[in-house]
Amino acid sequence: MKTKILKMMLALTLSTSIGFAQTSKSGNLALNSIIPKPLSVSAHTGKFEFKPTTPIYYQPQAQAPISVFIGQLAGSTGVKAKTLPLTNQSQGILFMVSDTLNSLGEEGYRIRIAPTAISVYAKTGAGIFNATQTIRQLLPIQIESKTNGNTVWSIPCGEITDKPRYSWRGYMQDVSRTFYGVEVMKKYMDVIALYKLNVLHLHLTDDQGWRIEIKRYPLLTSTKNHCI
């Protein structure tokens, strides 16, 4: 019973957390709830709308960082976007990596949203990944669902520039005294990524439990040991 209540509370907390970040103010980019708050946001007129024909272009260094976003976009919108290497395209969703963008740091990014294109710039793949999480927050809350109904997949035009203030942005989960299954931890990691935290600290051992299996010492995980 205790475990069931815990899972219900966890599901409610995570869904409320995601929902708050994705309370979209569709007409004005500056009014959207992006978490954490970016360094700067400027709103322009118009909106970019995702359509079944919307292509996604990427430079080689951006291919891996955008894969999670592409999968989520396809699963929620039903749109399996054409994904191709970037050459000289100017329309669609464009992911660009350049080591000359020193002002953005190792994890920063810049997103320019126009009616015909979303252009994403970063110095590294980490910056590209963080940018995809901001785009995820700007989309309707249905992006977190497998059913979207008649959702209009659009983002208001404007420009966002952001980079983390701290290099270590961690979250600690005590899995020693309160055990969580793999699927629950995956959900935690998804929310951590959404909010651009970059360190997951798992508290694996304590006097109430030992969660690391060591085959040579099987009693560590089969017997409560208060002398560890």
Q: List the domain boundaries for the chain.
A: 23-162, 170-222
> Poorest-confidence range of 38-52, 64-78, 204-218?
204-218
The whole-number pLDDT of residue 18 equals 54
Q: Which residue has the higher pLDDT, 132 or 18?
A: 132
Per-residue pLDDT band at 47 (split at 50, 70, 90): very high
Per-residue pLDDT band at 228 (split at 50, 70, 90): very low
The whole-number pLDDT of residue 208 equals 73
Q: Rounded mean pLDDT of 53-77?
A: 91
Residue-wise pLDDT for 106-133, tens only, equals 999 999 999 999 999 999 999 999 999 9
The one-letter amino acid at 116:
T
User: According to the 3-state scheme, what is the secondary structure of the chain?
Assistant: CHHHHHHHHHHHHHHHHHHHHCCCCCCCHHHCCCCCCCCEEEEEEEEEECCCCCCEEECHHHCCCCHHHHHHHHHHHCCCCCEEECCCCCCEEEEEECCCCHHHCCCCEEEEECCCEEEEEECCHHHHHHHHHHHHHHCCHHHHCCCCCCCCCEEEEEEEEECCCCCCCEEEEECCCCCCCHHHHHHHHHHHHHCCCCEEEEECEECCEECCCCCCCCHHHHCCCCCC
Q: Which CATH superfamily includes the segment(s) 23-162?
A: Chitobiase/beta-hexosaminidase domain 2-like (3.30.379.10)
Q: What is the average pLDDT value for the chain, to the nearest integer?
A: 85
> With 80 as the cut, is the pLDDT of residue 157 above it?
yes
* Rounded distance between C-alpha atoms, residue 23 and residue 36, angstroms: 14
Per-residue pLDDT band at 20 (split at 50, 70, 90): very low
Residue-wise pLDDT for 64-73, tens only, equals 999 999 988 8
For residue 107, give every residue at least 6 positions away whose Cβ sits within 8 Å of its Cβ, in sequence order, or none.
124, 126, 127, 130, 163, 164, 167, 196, 198
* Rounded distance between C-alpha atoms, residue 94 and residue 216, angstroms: 51
